[in-house]
Amino acid sequence: MKTRLQKKYLVLIIGYSVMLLFIPYMLDYSKTDPRFKSGLQKQRCPDLENSMGMWNIEEKASNETDVAEENGNRGKTKTFIYLHATWRTGSSFLGELFNQHPDVFYLYEPMWHMWQTLYPGDAESLQGALRDMLGSLFRCDFSVLKLYMASPNLTTASIFGWKKNKVICSEPLCSAYKKDEIGLINEAVCQKCPAMDIKSLERECKKYPVVVIKDVRVLDLGVLVPLMQDPSLNLQVIQLFRDPRAVHNSRLKSKQALVRESIQVLRSKQRADKYKRLVVPNRSQRADSYVSSAMEVICESWLKDLLFISSAPQWVTRNYIRLRYEDLVLQPVKRLQSLFRFSNLTFLPAIGDFVLNMTQGDKYSSDKPFLISSRDAKEAIHAWRERLSLEQIRQVETYCSEVMSLLAYH
């Protein structure tokens, strides 16, 4: 018995010794091999190299045509669109334009359920789970929501934002509205709709040729690439940007509602030290600090996305559109026509009238910051000039300077 134990220990000792000898060799090799050097020199942004590691651009270049034909087919029977945005960029308005289309099954921020359940988890560690959740939802499998619900009995009333969803509030699930009638949903009316079993919503989802999901919790465009590669989805992405100064102004206006979300962004591993320094005694100052510092992280994420897409192969870029909020509200019909072409949707005159009405209101915003309503687009674009202090403007322009330059914000 002792002899056997001695032999086992001897084998372990020899193996451990070989491993120790091998490590210095690998470290030395990484310093001398030109491939390692070039890889380090190319890194321009934190974690950008990791995101781009999902493909080898040099190897893909020679096969881009074949891959694009297979993965970027515009003639496919079903289209999947993800509206990639962040808080207070006008994404709810953009999502509502798709919610209005009779051929669209639309979900408003379904990942809210995950963030609320896992609070105060950090944003970075949730990115993979968010992608997996998206994959299930695009396939009309809503059972994934059970993981983040208090009750296992899911109904249409369990879905975040259900009282504004035109599929849930329209026939055949509810007699309050008809899906082909263009116009905002009255939440008080929709609230009277009966709660239907989630399977009935899954059946409706499968009927629609276009599925659109809008959310603000995916902070890295690279996270979505596996869904863009998946031949059963061929996901297309519309990324919405807005002048960081206007975003900051809107975030401060809604700061109490955004504190929890801001904390989750700031709890990401890269921001851990900065988050610790944000703790201040005064509760109102704490909200300002969280919301303002999260804005810096948002600009860093935008920069990473812009650098990421600038080096992406054609099969990715052809399924991606970059959109500025300012262009959408100043040229609403033209921009919406382009978005609908990208999404395999027919542009309807009634939706053209709807988007014009929504951007030609008589005031900057409603008293409720998360309410979708008709607004004065020009005033909304420039409101930050009157509402932010010079110090606040300087601060945003300092840590968002590179992003502002790439997006042509002056």
CATH value at residue 215:
3.40.50
Inside any domain, residue 14: no
Q: Supply φ then ψ for residue 375, to 5 degrees.
A: -140, 160
Name the residue range of residue 243's domain. Answer: 78-406
Q: What is the mean pLDDT of the chain?
A: 80
pLDDT on residue 39: 39
Contact call for residues 64 and 313 (beta carbons, < 8 A): yes
- Contacts of 399-405 spanning 24+ positions with Cβ under 8 A: 399/295, 399/296, 399/299, 400/244, 400/295, 400/296, 400/299, 400/302, 402/303, 403/244, 403/299, 403/302, 403/303, 403/306, 404/243, 404/244
Residues 289-304 have a mean pLDDT of: 85
50: pLDDT confidence band, cut at 50, 70 and 90? low
Q: Supply φ then ψ for residue 106, to 5 degrees.
A: -120, 140
354: pLDDT confidence band, cut at 50, 70 and 90? very high
Give the residue among 46, 261, 221, 258 at the shortest CA–CA distance from 134.
221
Inside any domain, residue 370: yes
Which residues contact residue 280 at a Cβ distance below 8 angstroms, ignoring those fewer than 6 apart? 286, 289
pLDDT on residue 302: 95
Residue predicted with more confidence, 64 or 229: 229
CA distance 118 to 115: 5
Count structural domains, the chain. 1
Inside any domain, residue 47: no
Alpha-carbon separation of residue 377 from 363, 374, 393, 401 (angstroms) = 9, 9, 21, 24
Tokens of 87: 């808080």
Give the residue among 68, 70, 78, 72 at the shortest CA–CA distance from 344.
78
Residue predicted with more confidence, 135 or 1: 135
Residues 379-402 pLDDT 10s: 889 899 999 999 999 999 998 999
Single-letter amino acid code for the residue at 289: S
pLDDT on residue 274: 52
Residues 142-164 have a mean pLDDT of: 90
Q: Comparing 69-78, 226-235, 366-375, which segment has the lowest mean pLDDT? A: 69-78
Report the share of the chain in percent with pLDDT over 70. Answer: 70
Tokens of 69: 């034909």
199: pLDDT confidence band, cut at 50, 70 and 90? very high
Inside any domain, residue 293: yes
Residue predicted with more confidence, 325 or 22: 325
Inside any domain, residue 57: no
Report the share of the chain in percent with pLDDT over 90. Answer: 54
Inside any domain, residue 42: no
Tokens of 66: 């074949």
pTM (2 d.p.) = 0.80
Instruction: Determine how many CB atoms are found less than 10 A away from the CB of residue 113.
Output: 19
Inside any domain, residue 346: yes
Contact call for residues 145 and 154 (beta carbons, < 8 A): yes
Inside any domain, residue 219: yes
Q: Supply φ then ψ for residue 212, to 5 degrees.
A: -125, 130
